[in-house]
């Protein structure tokens, strides 16, 4: 259930209500909105608690949430959650673009890509150091060394970083080097990993599983939120359907649907969502038009020779820069702000050499 307070309630009164809830043996979660404060109650409460709370001074109403995900629901948190990381706001009026290779391969490779992501107007450098692959003989990433390389490249060029964490054992080391920790589609229901991520204070980018419903997706997010970490970013990255032409089917309806169901920010991954380079830009623009708060896009300086073999879905740097210019024009129509550098051409001329 959730407790909705009156607009004029004081912080002291909210604390008194929270203490009352704790004495009842359940866990309160306070969410302050622009007009009202909402206190979520997690756990099995005595049926009489709702009536007692409803009669308390400063309480406007007590509402039962029927959904299995409580903290992730729009009912619990009516206002959009905005996650701020070193001045970059995800979920607000700013469109955030994460760009980079599927995997970190070398210091020179990730440094050059970071330079180009920044030159095109991206805010976050993406790259995998640990790669969960379908086949056991495929390239699995270079590990902690890759984290160090990516962190140094991002710091040099003024970018944030996002990287995938595969197991609970690697959460702390990944958190040491990365600004955002990614949970891949294959791990969306790795509940031990989700619980561990709930104990840290680093934003988590949670990708939707291949066959996950919206309800299953938001319940996965609930594991992280219930652990005490409020900073979860949802990512629609395509689902498995019967169509073989594309790698996956990018579910654009998920973006407005999840925004209706949840307050969490949502980004889209058109690279994995299509698996085809020529489809990435159109679907990226479609995702922004559908209301996405950001995009995560694969970009590589030599995609045909990438170590992961995912080059077919990676943009060339000039294609990435062209898309960014198009997003700058599109973003205001979708209620977002996105600015690119005025003269990035020199950086891309150097790359072509």
Spatial CA neighbour of 317 closest among 116, 162, 145: 116
pLDDT by 10s per residue, the chain, length 353 = 888 898 888 999 999 999 999 999 888 888 776 667 888 888 787 888 988 999 999 999 888 877 889 889 998 888 899 999 999 999 999 999 999 998 999 999 999 999 999 999 999 999 988 755 455 534 446 788 999 999 999 999 999 999 999 999 999 999 999 999 999 999 999 999 999 999 999 999 999 999 999 999 999 999 999 888 999 999 999 999 999 999 999 999 999 999 999 999 999 999 999 999 999 999 999 999 999 999 999 999 998 877 766 789 999 999 999 999 999 999 999 999 998 887 555 666 666 65
**Residue 193 φ/ψ, nearest 5 degrees:** -65, -45
> In the 8-state DSSP scheme, what is residue 335?
T
To the nearest 10 degrees (0 to 180), the angle between helices 277-289 and 317-330 is 20
Instruction: Decide if 193 contacts 165 (C-beta within 8 A).
Output: yes
pTM of this structure: 0.88
Stretch(es) of the chain classified as CATH 3.20.20.70: 83-352
Domain 2-63 has CATH 3.30.70.1140: yes
Quick one: CATH architecture of 83-352?
Alpha-Beta Barrel (3.20)
Stretch(es) of the chain classified as CATH 3.30.70.1140: 2-63
Spatial CA neighbour of 250 closest among 283, 203, 298, 202: 283
């Amino acid at each position: 259930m959730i407790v909705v307070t009156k607009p004029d309630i004081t912080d002291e009164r909210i604390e008194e209500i929270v203490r009352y809830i704790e004495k009842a043996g359940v866990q309160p979660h306070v969410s302050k909105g622009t007009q009202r404060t909402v206190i979520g109650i997690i756990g099995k409460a005595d049926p009489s608690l709702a009536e007692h709370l409803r009669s308390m001074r400063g309480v406007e109403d007590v509402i039962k949430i029927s959904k299995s995900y409580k903290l992730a629901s729009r009912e619990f948190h009516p206002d959009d959650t905005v996650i701020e990381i070193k001045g970059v706001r995800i979920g607000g009026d700013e469109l955030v673009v994460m760009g980079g290779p599927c995997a970190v391969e070398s210091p020179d490779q990730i440094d050059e890509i970071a330079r180009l992501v920044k030159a095109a107007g991206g805010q976050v450098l993406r790259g995998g150091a640990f790669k969960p692959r379908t086949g056991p003989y495929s390239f699995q990433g270079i590990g902690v060394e890759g984290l160090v390389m990516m962190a140094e490249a991002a710091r040099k060029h003024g970018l944030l970083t996002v990287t995938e964490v595969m197991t609970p054992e690697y959460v702390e080391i990944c958190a040491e080097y990365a600004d955002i920790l990614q949970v891949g589609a294959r791990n969306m229901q790795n509940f031990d990993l989700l619980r561990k991520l709930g104990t840290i204070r680093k934003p988590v980018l949670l990708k939707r599983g291949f066959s996950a419903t919206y309800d299953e997706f938001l319940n996965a997010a609930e594991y992280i939120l219930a652990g005490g970490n409020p900073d979860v970013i949802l990512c629609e990255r395509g689902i498995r359907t019967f169509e073989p032409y594309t790698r996956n089917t990018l579910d654009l309806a998920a973006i407005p649907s999840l925004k209706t169901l949840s307050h969490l920010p949502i980004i889209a991954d058109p690279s994995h969502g299509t698996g085809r380079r020529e489809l990435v830009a159109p679907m990226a623009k479609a995702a922004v038009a559908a209301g996405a708060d950001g995009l995560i896009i694969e970009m590589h300086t030599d995609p045909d020779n990438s170590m992961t073999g995912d080059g077919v879905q990676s943009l060339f740097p000039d294609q990435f820069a062209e898309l960014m210019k198009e997003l700058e024009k599109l973003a205001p129509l979708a209620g977002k702000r996105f600015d690119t550098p005025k003269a990035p051409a020199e950086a891309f001329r150097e790359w072509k050499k």
